[in-house]
């Protein structure tokens, strides 16, 4: 079949941040494009992930401000919280953005098919309630779903998935969070701010196991000071469901001791599983590893006309901006392969992807941790800077601010940056720009940072790595 005989030049399966961004870029490049979505445009990110959680966490941030108001000379009465209203606002924001993606599809002349798709052959898919569709290229962007814990099916009432955690109408007296990754800790932070007694269990020795150890330890101390209780190196032995409460039996991996605690609800936040089960990938000989689609450069699978982007492929991290960037890259690669553009697109640098956790305080990072540098036997220069030396942190009483930078001693290349503080998810972009553009320490030091800002801590941390700190 020649390209002209196919229904489309590119069909994208899945309308999350990977899929819809890919579709828009394909359309911009003049490719006849369709997108298939079985549920809601915007995927997990806009509907059940990044956005609604941040809407809820904004409420928690306001709660925290109100609690501290008197310290700033502002008198307010005892605050009360309306979780139903917070949830309603969060759903409203998600709905607005989901509708916005629909508008973007129309604006870019992208044909939307509603239904679940699976492969028939490498140029044909079947969409439930629609029929068969042919295309020269396919991009699989079907994302991931929460990992279910054996024996503990989530029920929305007492045992929650992340979806349940953002749909509650009343604040639980106590909450057990199983898993201390970004998702678990964001909900732990949210419910703790609203007054729930929060307990977190983590299988690894440290919470936030992918973060730089020094930052993870600092974060733990901040969370503990707010009343969150942690059980590291522990797992859930079993849960007994009572009428009003759960009894959770927590087993310490090291001592094998079991402790029983009573909680109103438990949130299962033990990771995500790639959505590949129903795609019939065996029909097109696209291999998977632990349910994730194996991809090479430009996210091409073993079938050269089938790409896989975002949470469904086997490249970490599972983050929305990684999915979107892969979407852009693979759209440009398809256009290049079809002769629509003459230059080969850039291959994505996965070591330059920032990651943010929107707890209170926030955590943000890019590149390798100090532990990774040690493991890789890289000779490093480490620089740190804390809030005590930063005027803006003092003025705003944001004393959790801390920045750590890791440079290669031989080349002065920035290898990693790690931050904690109330707004570090905004500040990490400075390191993204620096790292992507391979700025050296000298170039960052030669940059003028506005005063008074928390951003000055970046400047100082870099100078600290070279023995030049001013304010410490």
Nearest to ligand FAD of 363, 441 (CB atom): 363
Select the span of 85-93, 148-156, 310-318, 342-350 touching ligand FAD (CB under 6 A): 310-318
Nearest to ligand FAD of 52, 383 (CB atom): 52
Residue by residue, DSSP assigns 291-346 as TEEP--GGGB-SSTTEEE-GGGBS-S---HHHHHHHHHHHHHHHHHHTTS-SSPPP
Task: For the CB of residue 162, give the shortest distance to ligand FAD in the complex, in Å.
Answer: 4
- Contact between 185 and ligand FAD per CB under 6 A: no
Rounded to whole angstroms, the Cα distance separating 353 from 107 reads 29
Alpha helices (H) along 181-319:
182-193, 213-225
> Which of 3, 278, 291, 411 touches ligand FAD (CB under 6 A)?
278
- Contact between 116 and ligand FAD per CB under 6 A: yes
Total residues found in the chain within this entry: 472
Rounded to whole angstroms, the Cα distance separating 80 from 90 reads 18
- Contact between 162 and ligand FAD per CB under 6 A: yes
Rounded to whole angstroms, the Cα distance separating 80 from 82 reads 7
> Which of 56, 143, 348, 361 touches ligand FAD (CB under 6 A)?
143
Rounded to whole angstroms, the Cα distance separating 414 from 127 reads 47
- Contact between 16 and ligand FAD per CB under 6 A: yes
Task: For the CB of residue 57, give the shortest distance to ligand FAD in the complex, in Å.
Answer: 9
Rounded to whole angstroms, the Cα distance separating 329 from 350 reads 12
Task: For the CB of residue 297, give the shortest distance to ligand FAD in the complex, in Å.
Answer: 18
β-pairing, 234-241 with 246-252?
A: antiparallel
Cβ neighbours of 420 (radius 10 Å): 27
- As a whole number of Å, the CA-based R_g of the chain is 24
Nearest to ligand FAD of 14, 232 (CB atom): 14
Select the span of 103-111, 275-283, 332-340, 439-447 touching ligand FAD (CB under 6 A): 275-283
Among residues 422, 405, 424, 416, the alpha carbon closest in space to that of 466 is found at: 405
- Contact between 135 and ligand FAD per CB under 6 A: no
Residue 377 has what DSSP assignment?
T
Rounded to whole angstroms, the Cα distance separating 183 from 191 reads 13
> Which of 6, 9, 17, 123 touches ligand FAD (CB under 6 A)?
17
Nearest to ligand FAD of 54, 229 (CB atom): 54
Task: For the CB of residue 36, give the shortest distance to ligand FAD in the complex, in Å.
Answer: 5
Taking CB atoms within 8 Å and a gap of at least 24, the contacts of 91-97 are 91/52, 91/167, 93/51, 93/52, 93/55, 94/42, 94/46, 94/47, 94/48, 94/51, 94/52, 94/55, 97/42, 97/46, 97/51
- Contact between 36 and ligand FAD per CB under 6 A: yes
Residues 6+ apart with CB under 8 A from 92: none
Q: Determine the 3-state secondary structure of 180 from DSSP.
A: coil
Among residues 283, 278, 332, 282, the alpha carbon closest in space to that of 309 is found at: 332
Select the span of 35-43, 68-76, 259-267, 397-405 touching ligand FAD (CB under 6 A): 35-43
Nearest to ligand FAD of 34, 279 (CB atom): 279
Task: Verify whether residue 451 is a known catalytic residue.
Answer: yes
Catalytic-role residue among 321, 325, 423, 451: 451
Task: For the CB of residue 3, give the shortest distance to ligand FAD in the complex, in Å.
Answer: 23
- Contact between 320 and ligand FAD per CB under 6 A: yes
Task: For the CB of residue 249, give the shortest distance to ligand FAD in the complex, in Å.
Answer: 26
Tokens of 235: 């797992």
> Which of 8, 10, 11, 18 touches ligand FAD (CB under 6 A)?
18
Rounded to whole angstroms, the Cα distance separating 297 from 348 reads 9
Using CB under 6 A as the binding rule, the residues of this chain from 39 to 58 that contact ligand FAD are: 39, 43-45, 49-50, 53
- Contact between 435 and ligand FAD per CB under 6 A: no
> Which of 60, 94, 268, 279 touches ligand FAD (CB under 6 A)?
279
Q: Considering CB under 6 A, how many residues would be counted as binding ligand FAD? A: 36
Rounded to whole angstroms, the Cα distance separating 9 from 157 reads 45
Task: For the CB of residue 309, give the shortest distance to ligand FAD in the complex, in Å.
Answer: 6
> Taking CA 105 as the corner, what is the angle to CA 39 and CA 309, rounded to the nearest 5 degrees?
65
Select the span of 10-18, 76-84, 389-397, 409-417 touching ligand FAD (CB under 6 A): 10-18
- Contact between 286 and ligand FAD per CB under 6 A: no
Residues acting as catalytic residues: 451
Q: Which residues bind ligand FAD (CB under 6 A)?
A: 13-19, 36-39, 43-45, 49-50, 53, 116-117, 141-144, 162, 183, 275, 278-279, 310-312, 318-321, 323
């Amino acid at each position: 079949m020649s390209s002209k005989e196919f229904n489309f030049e590119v069909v994208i399966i899945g309308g999350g941040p990977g899929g819809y961004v890919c579709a828009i870029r394909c359309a911009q490049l003049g490719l006849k494009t369709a997108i298939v979505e079985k549920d809601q445009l915007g995927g997990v990110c806009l509907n059940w992930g990044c956005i609604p959680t941040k809407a809820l966490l904004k409420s928690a941030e306001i709660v925290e401000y109100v609690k501290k108001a008197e310290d700033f000379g502002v008198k307010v009465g005892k605050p009360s919280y309306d979780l139903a209203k917070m949830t309603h606002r969060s759903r409203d924001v998600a709905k607005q953005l989901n509708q916005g993606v629909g508008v973007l599809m129309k604006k870019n002349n992208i044909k939307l098919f509603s239904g679940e798709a699976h492969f028939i052959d490498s140029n044909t898919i079947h969409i439930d309630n629609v029929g068969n569709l042919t295309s020269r290229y396919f991009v699989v962007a079907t994302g991931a779903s929460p990992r279910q814990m054996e024996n503990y099916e989530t029920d929305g009432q007492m045992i929650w998935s992340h979806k349940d955690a953002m749909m509650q109408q009343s604040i639980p007296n106590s909450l057990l969070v199983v898993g201390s990754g970004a998702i678990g800790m964001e909900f732990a932070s949210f419910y703790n701010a609203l007054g729930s007694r929060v307990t977190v269990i983590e299988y690894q020795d440290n919470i936030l196991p992918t973060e730089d150890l020094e930052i993870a330890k600092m974060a733990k101390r901040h969370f503990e000071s707010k009343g969150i209780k942690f059980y590291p190196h522990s797992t859930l032995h079993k849960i007994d469901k009572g009428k009003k409460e759960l009894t959770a039996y927590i087993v310490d991996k090291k001592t094998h001791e079991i402790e029983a605690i009573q909680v109103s609800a438990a949130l299962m936040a033990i990771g995500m599983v790639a959505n590949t089960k129903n795609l019939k990938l065996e029909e097109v000989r696209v291999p998977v590893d632990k349910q994730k689609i194996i991809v090479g450069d430009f996210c091409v699978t073993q079938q050269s006309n089938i790409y896989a982007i975002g949470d469904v492929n086997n490249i970490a991290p599972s983050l929305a901006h990684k999915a979107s960037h892969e979407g852009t890259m693979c759209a440009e690669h398809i256009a290049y392969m079809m002769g629509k553009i003459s230059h080969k697109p850039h291959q994505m640098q996965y070591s330059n992807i920032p990651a943010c956790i929107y707890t209170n305080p926030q955590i943000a990072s890019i590149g390798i941790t100090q532990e990774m540098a040690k493991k890789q036997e890289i000779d490093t220069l480490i620089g740190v800077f804390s809030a005590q030396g930063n005027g803006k942190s003092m003025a705003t009483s944001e004393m959790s601010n801390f920045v750590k930078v890791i440079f290669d001693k031989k080349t002065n290349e920035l290898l990693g940056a790690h931050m904690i503080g109330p707004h570090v998810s905004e500040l990490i972009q400075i390191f993204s720009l620096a790292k992507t553009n391979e700025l050296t320490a000298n170039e960052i030091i030669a940059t003028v940072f506005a005063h008074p800002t928390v951003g000055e801590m970046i400047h100082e941390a870099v100078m600290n790595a070279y023995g030049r700190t001013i304010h410490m």
